[in-house]
């Protein structure tokens, strides 16, 4: 069974790129353009990992990641925070993300980041 990846970004082009990269590697990919219902999304999708943009409506990636990490059902779900901000590491730490990546990113960087997330969760 393919690992499920839930990707959050308000930019539909980024979502399409992520979906293409990850599906071509055999992952099942779900996308969202807002994160206001993040816990409901996780209950619906049951992802093996989450990729979260920092600048996303309605509550932002850091807060959405905090909600995931504070939830007793989903706190172990690995989260990668990605952002165009130069302080990506500090934002990831603030949110409790398991990893981070700066935008723009390469196809290889995305693939390797997801592999790290999934191997850390097993």
Question: How many percent of the chain have pLDDT more than 90?
Answer: 93
Question: Which structural domains are found in the chain, ordered by start?
Answer: 4-116 (3.40.50.2300)
Q: How far apart are CA 40 and CA 106, in angstroms?
A: 30
Report the candidate in 29, 30, 39, 18 with the shortest Cα–Cα distance to residue 82. 18
**The pLDDT value given to residue 121:** 77
Backbone dihedral region of 60: left (phi > 0), alpha (psi from -120 to 50 degrees) or beta?
A: left
Whole-structure pTM value: 0.96
Tens of pLDDT, residue by residue over 16-53, are 999 999 999 999 999 999 999 999 999 999 999 999 99
The chain-wide mean pLDDT, for the chain, equals: 95
Within 13 Å of residue 38, how many CA atoms lie on the same side as its CB?
A: 31
pLDDT at 122: 72
pLDDT surpasses 80 at 9: yes
């Amino acid at each position: 069974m393919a690992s499920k990846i839930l990707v959050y970004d308000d930019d539909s082009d980024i979502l399409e790129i992520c979906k293409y990269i990850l599906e071509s590697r055999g992952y099942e990919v779900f996308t969202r353009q807002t994160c206001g219902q993040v816990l409901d999304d996780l209950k619906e999708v049951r992802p093996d990992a989450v990729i979260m943009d920092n600048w996303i409506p309605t509550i932002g990636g850091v807060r959405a990641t905090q909600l995931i990490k504070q939830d007793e059902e989903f706190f172990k779900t690995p989260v990668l925070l990605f952002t165009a901000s130069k302080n990506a590491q500090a934002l990831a730490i603030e949110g409790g993300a398991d990893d981070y990546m700066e935008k723009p990113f390469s196809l290889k960087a995305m693939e390797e980041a997801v592999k790290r997330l999934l191997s850390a969760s097993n």
